[in-house]
């Protein structure tokens, strides 16, 4: 079971909702997380249960980042709006940097999200189970 997070800027929320609807069957068995409004929108349109953090500008990106820093997040779909300045841009950059530090796959556009969800569907993320199994403090 993977820990997967969904984040989307305002003009990308419809796109992420449609994406999750299309791949609901892939996401169903996993632990799902999101920033506030994105998670609400996804839950309204699917039968998925999502742990919602605060809205991105209010710290939701940082809350997800805390899980990334602890190497507890396995995949992030973060549909960014590259044409709109974001007031919390430093938080976004920090989250992306943490993903690079921990080697967490992150999709910032729908094309990459499609590739990663297909990998999840094929079982290509089984290596993340080893990360969880051998994490310091994990039971064997």
38 is in an annotated binding site: yes
51 is in an annotated binding site: no
133 is in an annotated binding site: no
CA distance 116 to 84: 25
Q: What is the DSSP letter of 134?
A: T
13 is in an annotated binding site: yes
Angle between helices 13-22 and 110-122 in degrees, nearest 10: 20
3-state secondary structure of 99: helix
35 is in an annotated binding site: yes
49 is in an annotated binding site: no
61 is annotated as an active-site residue: yes
59 is in an annotated binding site: no
Q: Which of 10, 61, 74, 124 is catalytic?
A: 61
CA distance 78 to 109: 7
Phi, psi of 118 (to 5 degrees): -65, -35
Q: Residue positions in the annotated binding site for substrate? A: 9, 13, 35-38, 55-56, 88
Q: Residue positions in the annotated binding site? A: 9, 13, 35-38, 55-56, 88
Catalytic residues: 61
């Amino acid at each position: 079971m993977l820990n997967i997070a969904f984040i989307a800027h305002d003009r990308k929320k419809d796109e992420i909702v449609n994406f999750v609807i299309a791949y609901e069957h892939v996401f169903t068995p996993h632990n799902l997380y999101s920033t506030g409004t994105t998670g609400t929108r996804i839950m309204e349109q699917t039968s998925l249960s999502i742990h919602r953090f605060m809205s991105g500008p209010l710290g939701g990106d940082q809350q997800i980042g805390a899980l990334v820093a602890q190497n507890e997040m396995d995949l992030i779909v973060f549909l960014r709006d590259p044409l709109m300045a974001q007031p919390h841009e430093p938080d976004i950059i920090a989250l992306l940097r943490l993903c690079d530090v921990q080697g967490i796959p992150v999709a910032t556009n729908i094309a990459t999200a499609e590739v990663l969800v297909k990998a999840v569907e094929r079982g290509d993320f089984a290596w993340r189970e080893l990360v969880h199994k051998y994490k310091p403090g994990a039971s064997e």
